[in-house]
Amino acid sequence: MALLDDLTSNLEAVRAEFLAALEGVTQEQFERRPPGDITEGEERWPIRDVCWHLGQYDDYQRRVILAATDGRPLPRNEPTNRPGYLTTPDLLREWLGQSRRALVVLASHLDEAALNREFEGAGGRMLTPRGILKWIAIHERSHIEQVNGLRALPPGG
């Protein structure tokens, strides 16, 4: 179980790093989109939408792991729009805490066999819950860099 503890500790640590990147963010910084023209298919998220994305990503990957370990068909990834009331850093920090807690609780109940069970993911790639849990942390670290870049933008820019 030490390896599982490492996985869940890493998930909790990277979320703490992400939340630390939000410390002191102003409402203006939270809502500001990156400057420049947006090309077709491109998404330029403000910090607020990065937070929503990470919470949804936790939820989707949790549902994938649960379905895969139960031998059920995998859920489709159908992101939803952020509810209109989730507009402040405090509310989205709470959302991120809830989404990560649910993922960590699921992960903490997986045994070694479940963590290493291979299943076919999107695009025919073979995945394991262990690999997904590792990837979630890597994915989130890239968004920490994104948030730091967004915070560094000049006001109104």
Dist. CA 131–CA 61, nearest whole Å: 11
Which of 117, 104, 115 minimizes the C-alpha distance to 15?
104
pLDDT in tens, 25-44: 999 999 998 887 767 666 78
Q: What is the pTM of this model?
A: 0.91
Domains located in the chain, CATH noted: 2-32+44-152 (1.20.120.450)
Dist. CA 9–CA 23, nearest whole Å: 21
Which element (helix H / strand E) includes 157?
none
Residue with tokens 């102003």: 26
Mean pLDDT for all residues in the chain? 92
